[in-house]
Amino acid sequence: MNKSCFILIAHGSKKPEWAVPFQKLTDDLRKELGAEAVHLCFMENMHPTLLEVAPEIMKTSVRKCRLVPLFMAKGNHFRQDIPALIEEMKRSYPELETELLEPIGLHPLFFELMGTVIKSL
């Protein structure tokens, strides 16, 4: 069976408290989907990185990863950095299938949620 997981990709910060909401999201999703089904990584200034998450995933039965950029739009990390990291992952772990999803900020439900929150303020 080819189990899959989500890898949530956040930007990262030099301030550890910045990651708290992303860690909470990851923990909440793990409670619902299982510990192997959700991983969190960061693009810069924090760990783990995408390349550090891959060997941890390889210790499980998961062989398909859906990468979810927790970004509002398609910036340089999405267009250049993440694809380069995916290529590096493929060289090290060719049996690990990856699918890069659109940034979460472009999902229609995200826009709807933001509108609901703004109108409730």
Q: Could you give phi then psi for residue 60, rounded to 5 degrees?
A: -105, -175
So what's the pLDDT on residue 85?
97
Whether pLDDT at 96 is above 80: yes
Cα separation, 5 vs 62, whole angstroms: 7
Q: Distance (Å, rounded) from C-alpha 56 to C-alpha 43?
A: 17
Confidence check: pLDDT of 1 > 60 = no
**pLDDT tens across 27-63, in order?**
999 999 999 999 999 999 999 999 999 999 999 999 9
Average pLDDT, the chain: 96
Total tally of structural domains belonging to the chain? 1
Contacts of 114 (CB under 8 A, 6+ apart): none
Q: What is the CATH number of the domain that holds 34?
A: 3.40.50.1400
Above 70 in pLDDT, residue 2? no
Q: Please tell me the pTM assigned to this model.
A: 0.94
Let me know: does 100 contact 90? Beta carbons within 8 Å.
no
DSSP state of 66: E
Distance CA 75, CA 38 (A): 23
pLDDT for res 57: 96
Range of the domain at 76: 3-120
3-state secondary structure 96-120: CEEEECCCHHHCHHHHHHHHHHHHH
